[in-house]
Chains A and B, each alone.
Chain A
Amino acid sequence: EPEVTQTPSHQVTQMGQEVILRCVPISNHLYFYWYRQILGQKVEFLVSFYNNEISEKSEIFDDQFSVERPDGSNFTLKIRSTKLEDSAMYFCASRSDRGTEAFFGQGTRLTVV
C-alpha cells in the first residue's frame, strides 16, 4: 500500500541552525501539508501546498518557515533559524484530488538544543 515517508525520524539541532525536514508524498497526490505537534499538545496545521505554491498557512508558519517541492517526489519544510520552541513532532501529509482523506507520514521528531 502506498505511504507517505518522512526522513529523518529524529533530528537534533543546535539553536540558530537551519534544518530541512523531508517528505515523500504518495506519488499521484497533488496536495501536500505540514502539521506540527509540540510535546503533549494538539496537532496543529502549518501549511498546505498545491500546484507549486502555498495555498494556505497558519499563524505559526512565519517567515522562518518555508516549503518547497524541489523535484517530482520530495516535499520539504525548512526552518531557517531554529528556536527552542520549534522542538516538536512534524508530520507531512498528502491528498489526491479525488477525495478528502489525508495520508500522514509517521513524523520527524525535531529537538532543538
Chain B
Amino acid sequence: GIQVEQSPPDLILQEGANSTLRCNFSDSVNNLQWFHQNPWGQLINLFYIPSGTKQNGRLSATTVATERYSLLYISSSQTTDSGVYFCAVALNYQLIWGAGTKLIIKP
C-alpha cells in the first residue's frame, strides 16, 4: 500500500517564525489533504491539494505530484498554530495518513 512519511516529527518555534512541513508519499495519488489537529483533538481541514499550489492567509501548500511530495508553509507563526499537522493521501478514496508533525509555537 501507499506509504506516507512526514517530516520533521517535531518542531518547536518562536512566535513569528516561519516553518516548512514536508509530506512524502510512495505512489501516485488522486487526493492529498493537509489537516491541523488542535490540542483538543479536533481535525481542521486546511488544504485539498493533489497538485499545484494554494494559499490561505498565512498558510500555503504545494504538491509536486510527479515527485511525490507536498510542502505546507506556515508564515509568521502564532501560538494558535500549535498542534499536529497531518498529511493524508488517497488513490482510491480511502485516505492513508502520515504520522504527523507536532508543532509547538512558543510566545
- Give residues in A with beta carbon < 8 Å to B: 31, 33, 35, 37, 42-45, 48, 56, 89, 91, 93, 95, 100-107, 109
Contacts and interface: CB of A to CB of B under 8 A. Distances in A.
The prevalent SS among residues of B at the interface is strand
Contacts, number: 49
B97 A44 contact: yes
Contact of B42 (A35, A42, A106): A106
B41 to A, nearest CB: 5
Interface string B39-62: 001111100101000000000000
Contact of A56 (B42, B88, B94, B100): B94
Interface string B19-56: 00000000000110101000001111100101000000
Interface in B80-107: 86, 88, 90, 93-100
Nearest to B102: A40
